[in-house]
Structure 1
Amino acid sequence: MTPHRFQGEAICEPLLRGKYKGVVFCPNQVTAAIALGMALHNDSMAETLVIYWPDRCDVSSLRAARVRCWSYNRVRGLWYLACLMLIRIFVSVEVCLPHRKLGRMVEWFARLCSTTSIVDDGLDAWREQPQNIDPATFALGANFYTFQYSTPLGHWLQRFTLCPIIGIEAMAEVARDMLNLDSVRRLVVESPPLGRVVDELELDKDGVMLVAHSNVNKRLILGDVPRVVQGGEWALERSIRAYTGEIIVGESMIAVYALLQSNPAYRLLIYIAQENKSNLAPLIHLIEQRSFSTLREC
């Protein structure tokens, strides 16, 4: 028996017995962290199936909690999703999507399910109007699973049922190694709109480290940088908890995570594009509440 067949049978056998209550599609670490909260809220960890993108997600905490995880790619996706669509028991399962842009096969599968909910996948919750998701493609009152925030979020979420399910610290629960920041006085986390202010970042100076975006299609800072690490290879959130230098970041979930830390020793500089200022009003409100953070428009 090949590993490929084993994984398929291991997933499909509980489906046939009606074991799963929720299927969560996780294309990034934010969705994976929230999926952990959803699994912990189920009576049994085995009742949640997580389908994740292996190049963007670390699911070690999910596996440790005995949540069944399946790594998605287009080749295996065709076979697995065809199996899922044929299993009529799925009419009673809640499928959770971050948006409707995961491909035609995922969309077909979602249409077969009795309940389609939303899993927060990042900064859209902090925007007055989202960029990645079209709210009209989900039913009025659909569940929106997110972190346990204590500050107001975007107005567009009022049409949904907000389900705060886990603390944002879950983003740090990954098996990756921590960064050694002992000699780093400035940590620059690549995110928009930092591409506009590259000269201000002084990336060529001693003590400055660039954390490159985990998605190569979202790289903004090109050219030679003396000290650079790949964001997807390190436990960035856990690394900054005890950091004592300066963090520079743009419109990113790492900014939200850093803002929500209690009495950190670091200083936080957040760049926001001028044209996005009104749409990011909830995030700007949070920045202004934190004494260790500074907002800069560009």
Structure 2
Amino acid sequence: MKKLIAVLFLAFAVVCSAQSSLKPEFQAFSGALLKLKKVEKGYHKFRLTVDVNPWAFQADGEVQAPGGDGDALITGLFDGDVYAVLAYVPSTAAGSDGKEYQVGLFDMMLYFDDEPTKIRNLRFKLLPPANDEWAMGILKDALESGSLLGNVWGGKYDKAITKASADPMDKAKLRALQKKSGKKIDEDATINARKRRVEADEEVAPKKKKKAAMEDDASFNKRKRRVEAEEEPAPTKKKKKKKVSGDECDDPSLSIKEKRRCQLKNK
């Protein structure tokens, strides 16, 4: 008996620890994204598919017709009175497209006139590009961890659920996300194309540099020859010295200084 009490106490402690450490988050989705079949035995089969980053999942299940009225939910879809709220543990996995996706899903609720309905046989399926083995492992862990939280559709999570419900993800917002994602892909493609051009230019550059170097050498040699030609003085004819008779500088009337100047001038 004591062992049983100890085991129960330990299990209770584990649950309390999980509830205190796990903090689920919520994301609402417009009823326009839901596919709802006609009622069968009091339940509608439904499907919610979202495949725009950061979401890539499909949720299937059955929802009870409110008050047994098989038309209430279908009419509510057209009137905007039905929406889905997804509960998840923030945990991402890298998709094959290199983007991060939220895959820690563990529960979902359909609301009709802002009141929770009754859901059964809920199943989650991850979609490409975030459905590899690693992402599936995270989903499995989230489902197990989320079950320890019990019923999250009320009590202390009411405020978070109300906040999420005030701004549900609809088709327009998904298109905006998709457009933004597509724009990024185009930018990446442009960057890759630019990178390839740069790499191609770098391969051609050495050849151009070599050719330019050869042209520079030829130009330099040409300029050098021109400069050398300009620097070489043109051959000049030596002026024949005018022969001056010694009698001219030996004129007795000249002073010694005048005679020396005359001799220097005629050398």
More helix by share: 2
TM-score, normalised with respect to structure 1:
0.19
Higher relative CO (Cα under 8 Å, sequence separation at least 6) belongs to: 2
Structure whose alpha-carbon radius of gyration is higher: 2
TM-score, normalised with respect to structure 2:
0.20
